[in-house]
Amino acid sequence: MMKGKSSNDLIVGGMLGEGVKMEGTLNFKQTFRIDGEFQGKILGSERLVVGEKGIVKGEIECNSLICYGKITGNIKIKQDVEIHPKGRVEGDIFLESPLLTVLEGGSIDGTIKMAKKDNTILSITEKAK
């Protein structure tokens, strides 16, 4: 977890368990964890955690993202992104803040774009690994 997070950020408001498959639109207000398979659109006001066995296919828009599993699709994040050693993102990432951490073994196959202070977009890299 990134430094400076409050204990309220650790509260899991919901979870999609291992072996569970779901399609549609997911909205959440607290931290939500996915250990199963989700396909569709995810909209959240807090943190999304994709567990080691979690698979997400679709668009993601939320404040914060922690990826231990696999995400396929475009991602828009307002705050921080963490991609852990077995985490894999296949798709474009748009960051509103310059808070991206990719730990050794984690991978991104796509384009990373970051908003500058004047709301223009800065392209960081393509197909970074």
pLDDT digits (tens, 9 = 90+) for 29-74: 999 999 999 999 999 889 999 999 999 999 999 999 999 999 999 9
Residue 70 domain flag: yes
Residue 90 domain flag: yes
| Paired strand residues for 40 | 24, 58
Residue 10 domain flag: no
Percentage of the chain lying above the pLDDT 90 cut: 71
Range of the structural domain that residue 62 is part of: 29-126
Report the helix count and the strand count for the chain, using DSSP H and E: 0, 16
What is the three-class DSSP state of 122?
Answer: strand
Residue 79 domain flag: yes
Residue 38 domain flag: yes
User: Does the pLDDT at position 3 exceed 50?
Assistant: no
Residue 80 domain flag: yes
Task: Look at the chain and report how many structural domains it folds into.
Answer: 1
Residue 98 domain flag: yes
Residue 63 domain flag: yes
Report the distance separating Cα 66 and Cα 5, nearest Å.
Answer: 13
